[in-house]
Structure 1
Amino acid sequence: MLKRTLLECPEFLAGDHTALRELLHPAKQPVQLGYSLAHGRLAPGRRSKWHKLTSSEVYYFIGRQGRFSIGSETELVEGGSIVYVPPGENQSLENIGMTDIEFLCLVDPAWRIEDEQVTE
């Protein structure tokens, strides 16, 4: 059995300037997965840099409010919202709340730094 807690996972600043903790990654844990799963957060009033991945992504928002943009489309997101980002789509998240916005991000195939391009 593999069990991890959020605080056991080191936090790092991603290229898009969100704070991430990788919860599951097939290159880092003994798991047979084709995807990776990360917990992310973004401080109030901040916006992630525009970026795109060669992988598809699914965001699940745990709490708070934000604006998620894919290309020219922007939608409000809040706790319980899910956003699918197709591979190669330019994206950004803006925190419009008063506290950190938190989310889980599933990346398929698993996230690799060379698959991410910051576009601003």
Structure 2
Amino acid sequence: MTIKHSNEVEAKNVTAGNDTTIQVLISSQEGPNFALRKFCMQKGGGMPRHTNTVEHEQYVLRGAATITIGEETHHVKTGDVVFIPEGAVHSYQNTGEEPFEFLCIIPNKEDKITIVDEAC
């Protein structure tokens, strides 16, 4: 069992992202099946088009952003839920006036990330 406050977890810069951090709230060492991560993109921040070898289940905590999945662009905001299948090309761009924050749950499998386009 693990109980901690999210403020106790270090926020690390996302290397491929622009003004984006990640906190691994529940790691593969703590949860046998899933990892729970929190992303924060500052105003104007984002992540470039990329693919992952694991699916993503996401819940928007705060802010607004444009998420492109494949060829479809979606505007998401606080309270929205997003599912991104494994292998789908996707990107994020904070379009709001405040930080865009979301939780992202992924299965505890090897995740190979491939950047498709460096621009975010």
Same fold (TM over 0.5): yes
Residues 38 and 81 (structure 1), Cα distance of their counterparts in 2 relative to 1, 3 Å cut: same
Say yes or no: does 1:55 pair with 2:54: yes
Instruction: Compute the TM-score of the two structures, normalised by the length of structure 2.
Output: 0.87
User: Percent of aligned pairs with the same residue?
Assistant: 22
> Is contact 1:15–1:118 with CA below 8 Å preserved after alignment?
no
> Following the alignment from structure 1 to structure 2, what is the Cα–Cα distance between the partners of residues 47 and 2?
30
- 3-state secondary structure, aligned to 1:7: helix
Aligned partner of 1:19 in structure 2 is: 21
- Give CA deviations for 1:55-93 in whole Å, capped at 9, x if unaligned: 000111011111111011011100110110000111111
Shift of 1:47: 2.3
Runs of 4 or more, structure 1, over 4 Å off, are none
Confirm or deny: 8 A CA contact 2:49 2:89 kept in the other structure. Answer: yes
Alignment equivalent of 1:118, drawn from 104, 112, 115? 115
The whole-number CA distance in structure 2 between the counterparts of 1:15 and 1:84 is 23
Structural RMSD (CA):
1.5
Closer/same/farther in 2, CA of residues 19 and 99 from structure 1, 3 Å limit = same
Q: Give the structure 2 partner of residue 80 of structure 1.
A: 79
5+ long unaligned stretches in structure 2: none
- d(CA) in 2 for partners of 1:89, 1:61: 19
- Contact 2:42-2:100 within 8 A present in 1 as well: yes
Q: Are the counterparts in 1 of residues 11 and 21 from structure 2 also a CA contact under 8 Å? A: yes
What one-letter code is carried by the residue in structure 2 that aligns with 1:13? N
Q: Is the 8 A contact 2:6 2:25 kept in 1?
A: yes
TM (norm. structure 1) is 0.87
Count of aligned pairs: 115
